[in-house]
A and B are shown apart, each in its own frame.
Chain A
Amino acid sequence: MKKSTRPATYGLMAEFDDPSAVVAAAQKVYDEGYRSIDAYSPYPIEALSEAIGVHSTRMPLLVLIGGILGLIGGYAMQYYTHAIDYPIIVGGRPFHSWPSFIPITFETTVLGASLAAVFGMLALNGLPEPYHPVFNTPNFALASRDRFFIVIEAVDPKFDRDATAEFLRGLGSREVIDVEH
């Protein structure tokens, strides 16, 4: 998102105090053609992420890949140790005694998938991210309490300091302010 010519501000932020209002406003912002936008809410609202154009996450695919790696890794570990590197007969079972390998394979599958889920989510969200411009606005601490925010970034091609602010005010927000870098 970084451009060589950095805009004067990060963008404009509109504040709302009702979930239905913010969803409706976000939809209008998206319909107006803005794309470098984000919305902030104190709890997950599916309609809000839909409104700003987030229709799918890559999480299921990541988790599937993590699970498959865990499955192959777990089984290969047992096969390698018991059938190749250190073959030893235990309980009269063959070296490659696959039924005994299932429980651990299951556990490593779940482990791989879960690690992929959590660390994949954090990575795609760009967390941990100690600094972000939105924290510079005075009311943003309420985003974790009872307020809802929409931000249009200055890098958006349609962004115009005055026209965009006017547009946001028309959406029923409490307040529209500049977000400093």
Chain B
Amino acid sequence: MQRVTNPHDDVAIHRTSPPVIEPGHTFGSVTDKISALTLRRRTPIGWYIGFTLSFMVAGMLMMTIAYLVMTGIGIWGNNVPVGWAFDIINFVWWIGIGHAGTLISAILLLLRQEWRTSINRFAEAMTLFAVASAGLFPLLHTGRPWLAYWLLPYPNTMGMWPQFRSPLMWDVFAVSTYATVSALFWYVGLIPDFATLRDRAKNRVFQIIYGMLALGWRGSARHWARYEATYLLLAGLATPLVLSVHTIVSLDFAVSVIPGWHATIFPPYFVAGAIYAGFAMVLTLTIPLRRFYGLEDFITVRHLRNMAKIMLATGLIVAYGYMTEAFMAWYSANTYEEYMILNRMRGPYAWAYWSLIFCNVIVPQLLWVKRVRHSTVALFLISLVVSVGMWLERFVILVTSLHRDFLVSSWGMYSPTVFDWSMFIGTIGLFFTLLFLFIRFLPIISIFEMRTLVPQAQAQINEEKGQA
């Protein structure tokens, strides 16, 4: 199948919208421009600076982990009654960010949104790196990460099995499946582009490495037919998967009886929040990227505008979630639920609650204004605010619910230690380190999919449609 919309719709869209690819491009120019970023262009000085800074921050993560493994998780601030804190906040935050990548690559593919083509590769890479950062937190929160394989069902001399009725085990399966499928989807998408890099590379080492990664891909029509079927099927599988992953993450909370967590709104509310945070992160990353690498031809205003609209829509769903939480607390007539919401709004962590409302509900309303949606600076700033807001949301959900639950005698306060922060900031360093390596060594835009948007390819497709 061809991944383009109905040509008649397309004409109508183009009349009112900026194009998804600037005019004048051919198969050759698209190929050369994107592959040159990896093969021909000298590595910009900014890349070295960015990579070095990220790697230094990632070094902080490694030192934190070393100290954590030697000492124990007591170096973190979480303790009774707030037994879950940064470790789960950051896990949920990172997983959520990853979800936009799958959404762009899978759901928008199924919906035949051709504008996704120039951002899907990058967004999928973001997914993988975000999942890698997320995975570190529960792994290290086990306290003895060298025994983490106990979470997997394997016949062992202890004669025991994991507890599959627990949402935490569901999490293990959901996140590991998600990481595997995302990696496969990404790699399958890269195979034809590896072949392009293999054929265009002049350096013998690159020819061999890209050649091995390309698996001998030669663009045979028989191969393409199976490839397209596979890609579409994977998209169809990834779509329910991404929804299930964040649903299961939310069940970690909703299956418990803690006030503020035990709510049926959690799965859809978490999924919408994940997409919201993810699109904010995609915007945060693509806006500087398209500028520094001169990719305005491929990542046009149309892409930014569409992402802004998705952010606005999911932001409204998240705002609805906040309203439902407050309404259900009152409507349940449950003392603990009522106290929970009042404590969020007026208790010691009220600053976090109101900052989150400001970041996630009030600021994004600017996206209703067309001028804001078309301003890269404004979009960049709003997406940063939303990323902070979504982090605060998880902080509020975790900490305010746990620090004052049922028994007043077991109330307490939580504050993160320096190692909570160094670990969190360290994973941001890890994320950017991986991202910089990706930008340098792999095609950041799917070359073969961009070829399908070139006028010559569209002409062939339209001709076909005309005959049919």
Q: List chain A positions with a Cβ less than 8 A from chain B.
A: 18-20, 23, 26, 38-49, 51-52, 54, 57, 59-60, 63, 77-78, 81-82, 85-86, 90-91, 93, 97, 100-101, 103-104, 106-108, 110-111, 113-115, 117-118, 120-122, 124-125, 127-132, 134-135, 140-146
- Bound state CA distance, A18 and B224, in angstroms? 18
- Residues of A within 8 Å of B451, CB to CB, are 42-43
Smallest CB gap from A130: residue in B: B216
Contact in complex: B222, A60 (CB < 8 Å): no
Residue numbers in A under 8 Å from B449 (CB-CB): 43
The 10 closest A-B pairs by CB, nearest first: A146-B27, A128-B215, A81-B161, A19-B460, A129-B216, A59-B229, A141-B199, A121-B230, A100-B165, A49-B225
A111 contacts B448, CB within 8 Å? no
1/0 per residue, CB under 8 A from A, across B159-186: the answer is 1111111110110011001001100110
List 13 additional A-B contacts (Cβ < 8 Å) besides A81-B164, A107-B173.
Answer: A23-B460, A40-B220, A44-B448, A46-B225, A60-B229, A90-B165, A93-B165, A103-B244, A104-B173, A114-B180, A117-B234, A127-B217, A130-B211
The segment from B55-63, B188-196, B281-289 found at the interface with A is B188-196
The 0/1 profile, CB within 8 Å of A marked 1, for residues 410-423 of chain B is 00000000000000
Given contacts A19-B456, A20-B459, contact A143 B222 (CB under 8 A): no
Q: Determine whether B69 belongs to the interface, using a CB cutoff of 8 Å to chain A.
A: no
CB pair B459–A127 under 8 Å, yes or no, is: no
Residues of A within 8 A of B222 (CB): 38, 49, 52, 54, 125
- How far apart are B234's CB and chain A's nearest CB, in angstroms? 5
CA distance A43 to B191 in the complex (A): 12
Interface residues of B (CB under 8 A from A): 1-2, 26-28, 31-32, 153, 159-167, 169-170, 173-174, 177, 180-181, 184-185, 187-188, 192, 195-196, 198-200, 211-212, 215-230, 233-234, 237-238, 240-241, 244, 248, 251, 448-449, 451-452, 456-457, 459-460, 463-464
> Chain A's nearest CB lies how many Å from the CB of B31?
5
User: A108 vs B174: C-alpha distance in the bound complex, in angstroms?
Assistant: 9
Across-interface contacts of B224 in A (CB, < 8 A):
41, 43-45, 48-49
How many Å from the CB of A11 to the closest CB on chain B? 13
For residue A113, which residue of chain B has the nearest CB?
B237
Q: Which residue of B lies closest to A145 (CB)?
A: B31
Q: How far is the CA of A19 from the CA of B454 in the complex (A)?
A: 11
* Docked CA distance A44–B191 (Å): 13
CA distance A77 to B164 in the complex (A): 10
A86 and B161 contact, Cβ closer than 8 Å, known pairs A19-B456, A104-B169, A146-B26: yes
Given contacts A44-B224, A59-B226, A118-B234, contact A107 B244 (CB under 8 A): yes
**Quick check: B233 and A42 within 8 Å, CB to CB?**
no
Chain A residue nearest to B224 (CB atoms) is A44
The 28 sampled A-B contact pairs (Cβ below 8 Å) are: A39-B220, A41-B219, A41-B224, A42-B448, A52-B221, A54-B222, A57-B229, A60-B233, A82-B161, A82-B165, A103-B167, A104-B164, A107-B174, A107-B244, A110-B240, A110-B244, A113-B233, A118-B187, A121-B226, A121-B227, A129-B216, A130-B211, A144-B199, A144-B219, A145-B28, A145-B32, A146-B26, A146-B27
Bound Cα distance A32, B308 (Å): 53
Chain A residues with Cβ below 8 Å from B173 are 103-104, 107-108
Q: Give the CA-CA distance A18 to B459 in the complex, in Å.
A: 10
